[in-house]
Amino acid sequence: MELASIKVGLAPIALPNARLFVLGSLPGDASLGARQYYAHRTNQFWRLLGGAIAEPLQELPYAERLDRLARRGVGLWDVIASAERRGSLDQAIRLAEHNRIVQLLSDFPNLRAIAFNGATAARAGRKLIGDAPPGIALVDLPSSSAANTARFEEKARAWAVLAQFVAT
């Protein structure tokens, strides 16, 4: 049986002109090992976000994915900075320390939306932010994880709302 260990998340990725942040809960083991957001091959994040913003993200190397996001004003980060967790599932997260995501509201003057990838990120993120200031939307998305067994088409419909917040 695998022992729970402290998992430390990744640094935020964004340019100062970011209009949209997509926040996950805490990267899984594959992502932490690769030091890349959404690195697990079964995670649908790159396909879902790519479809929403009309970019073929899943087909690109990681560095080019990040470049496309930067050009479109999209930032990535997580609600949880570190936690004790056995494996990669959100249900196994214990003793979470949170990132200072409320700082996004003041550090990114062009920010128009914060989207939460999955219920765990949404629950913690909304608690940390409270009421969003006027002009900033908080968007709850179905998790891109393969552990979320909703059909891809259902997820894609929900993720499509992100298109209105990105630079063209």
Q: Give the residue numbers annotated as catalytic, written as ranges.
A: 43
Nearest CA among 34, 32, 37 for reference residue 13? 37
Per-residue CA distances from 123 to 15, 49, 61, 90, 155 (Å): 26, 21, 31, 12, 18
Q: Which residue has the tokens 């932010």?
A: 129
Distance CA 15, CA 148 (A): 30
Helices (H) and strands (E) in the chain, counts: 6, 7
Per-residue CA distances from 8 to 13, 77, 78, 81 (Å): 15, 12, 11, 6
Per-residue CA distances from 132 to 82, 94, 106, 119 (Å): 24, 27, 12, 18
